[in-house]
Amino acid sequence: MSTGREDQKFERHRESKPHKWKDSKLLIHLTSDVVAGLGTSLLVAPFVSVIDKAITSNASGRQNMTNTLLVGFSNMVKNPINFLTRPSFLAVFAVFSGTYVTNNAVESVCHHYHTSAVKPKFVLGSAVNVGLNLYKDMLFTKWYATVRPKPLPRASYLLFALRDTLTVSTAFVLPPLVSPYLQEEPFRLSKSAANFVTQLTLPCLVQIVSVPVHLVSLDLYNNPEHTTKDRIKLIRAGYWSTAFGRVLRTIPGFGVGGVVNKWAKHEVNIYLKEKAKEFNNPFSSNMSTI
C-alpha cells in the first residue's frame, strides 16, 4: 500500500518537475540580473557623477571642467562615505542601476522564452534610461547653472531624450549585432575580443554626434535668448572639451561598465546555481549555463 502511494507521489513530482525547473532557472537569472546591475552601477556611478557635474558646470560657465574634475575625484577619494550620500551620486546611480537591471532582465526573459531581445531591449531599455536620465539632467542643469532655478524648456527634454536614445542603442542593442562582423574577414577577432571592442567603442563613437545635441539642450536653459548663430558659436567653442567629457563618462558607464555587467551577470548566475545544488535543490542538476 505504501509503495503505491510513494509511486503516485513520485509520478506527480516528476510531472511537475519541468515547470518548476523553468521557473527556478528564470528566477536565478533575474536575481543575477539585479545583483550584477546594482553592483556594476555602484562601480561606475561615482566616476560618471563627477564627470557629469564637470560637463554641466563647464557648459553653463559656472566652473572650468578640469578644476571640477580634480575637486570631484579628490572628494571621492578623501571622503568616500560622504561622497556616496550626495544627491549627485544617488541620481547617477539610479540611472545606471535602472538601465542595467532592465536590460539584463529583458535579455534573460527573452532568452528564457526563445525570442529575440533586440526590439524589447531597445524599447524598454530606452524608456527606462531616457526617463531616469531626463530627471537626472533636470536636476544637474538646475544645480550647476549660473541662472536661478526654473523649469526646463520642452525642447531641452526632447534633445536629452534623443541623446540618451542614441547612447542606449549603441550600448545595448548594436554591440551584439556588430560583433559577428568583427569575427569574420578581414578582422577575424575572437568572439570575446569582438564583444569587448564593440561594447567599448560604439557608445564612445556616438558621442561625436550627440555632443551638439547635449550643448544645445543645456544652452536652451542657460541662455534662452541665444539665436541659432549664437548656438553654433557655442558648439564650436565647447565641442572638443564636451566631447572629451562625454567620451570619458561613457567609457566607465557603458564601455567598461557594459563589460563588467555581462561578466558579473554570468558569474553571479553560476554562483547561485552552485548554491542551489548545495541546498539539494531537486531541479538544480538540470540547470545549464546560458
Q: What is the pLDDT of residue 96?
A: 94
For residues 235 and 101, give the distance between their C-alpha atoms in angstroms, rounded to a whole number.
34
Inform me whether the pLDDT recorded for 21 exceeds 80: no
Assigned C-alpha cell, 243: 566631447
pLDDT at 226 over 90: yes
What pLDDT, on a 0 to 100 scale, did the predictor assign at position 10? 44
| pLDDT recorded at residue 87 | 95
CA proximity to 207, closest of 145, 255, 173:
255
Place of cell 537626472: 136
C-alpha 17/C-alpha 84 separation (Å) is 45
pTM: 0.79
Residue 1 has pLDDT above 80, yes or no: no
Amino acid identity for residue 280 in this structure: N
How is residue 40 written as a grid cell? 556594476
Q: How far is CA 11 from the centre of its chain?
A: 45
Residue 112: Cβ within 10 Å count: 15
Q: How far apart are CA 166 and CA 174, in angstroms?
A: 10
Q: Residue 20 — very low, low, confident or very high, per pLDDT cuts 50/70/90?
A: low
Q: What is the mean pLDDT of residues 212-236?
A: 93
pLDDT tens readout for residues 98-115: 999 999 999 999 988 889
Q: Which residues contact 182 (CB under 8 A, 6 or more apart)?
A: 189, 193, 194, 197, 198
Please give the single-letter amino acid code of residue 152.
L
Give 22's pLDDT tier (boundaries 50, 70, 90): low
pLDDT above 70 as % of the chain: 88
Tens-place pLDDT, residues 112-147? 888 988 889 888 988 998 899 999 999 999 999 988
- Given a cut of 90, is residue 178 above it in pLDDT? yes
- Mean pLDDT, the chain, rounded, equals 86
Per-residue confidence (pLDDT) for residue 39, from 0 to 100: 95
For the cut 50, the answer to whether the pLDDT of residue 94 exceeds it is yes
Does residue 4 carry a pLDDT above 80?
Answer: no
SS (H, E, C) the chain: CHHHHHHHHHHHHHHHHHHHHHHHHHHHHHHHHHHHHHHHHHHHHHHHHHHHHHHHHHHHCCCCHHHHHHHHHHHHHHCHHHHHCCHHHHHHHHHHHHHHHHHHHHHHHHHHCCCCCHHHHHHHHHHHHHHHHHHHHHHHHHHCCCCCCCCCCHHHHHHHHHHHHHHHHHHHHHHHHHHHHHCCCCCCCCHHHHHHHHHHHHHHHCHHHHHHHHHHHHHHHHCCCCCHHHHHHHHHHHHHHHHHHHHHHHHHHHHHHHHHHHHHHHHHHHHHHHHHHHCCCCCHHHCCCC
CA distances in angstroms from 203 to 94, 163, 206, 222, listed in the order given: 20, 11, 6, 27
- Asked whether the beta carbons of 223 and 200 are under 8 A apart, the reply is no
Looking at residue 220, its amino acid is L
pLDDT at 249: 86
